[in-house]
Amino acid sequence: MGFEEGKSDPVWLILTNFPVPPMTVRPTVSFGSDRSEDDITAKLLDLIKANELLKRTKAQGAGTHLTMELANLVQYHIYTICDNNIQSLPQATTKSKKPIASIRERLKGKEGRLRGHLMGKRVDFGARTVIGGDPMLEIDQVGVPRSV
């Protein structure tokens, strides 16, 4: 797998702390005088509740079957925060039965964070082209059509 002794360890691939996105990523939504939490904030709350329940259950010495069920619930919440469109898992929904917008859905696509907010914007007098290779050009050259 490409692991080098002393430089990498497969154990490092196991997530032990879950990073929480900042409030700018999951802002509170206002509807006039009503306020509502973001989908990811509500999902993080579900994750914390499930994790606390798992800790309490383990501390009380519950059976392996119940402990594994709660551990799978914690994993489910982590998966659905990151990506809510995993084929083998049921979609996580809000109280109104609407699927939550996961982190992946907020990043991908034309209106996502990357293409919609961070990449280039329209400018005046900008040309449009398709970039392609040309066997007649050197590796450090750029070809510009005469019409431009």
Residue 50 is predicted with a pLDDT of 96
Tens digit of pLDDT at every position of the chain (148 positions)? 677 888 888 888 888 888 888 888 888 888 878 888 888 999 999 999 999 999 999 999 888 999 999 999 999 999 999 999 999 999 998 888 889 888 898 888 777 777 776 666 666 777 666 666 788 888 888 888 787 7
pTM of the predicted model, to two decimals? 0.70
Residue 125 is predicted with a pLDDT of 72
Count the Cβ atoms, other than its own, within 10 Å of residue 81.
22
Count the Cβ atoms, other than its own, within 10 Å of residue 89.
13
Residue 130 is predicted with a pLDDT of 62
Distance of CA 113 to the CA centre of its chain: 11
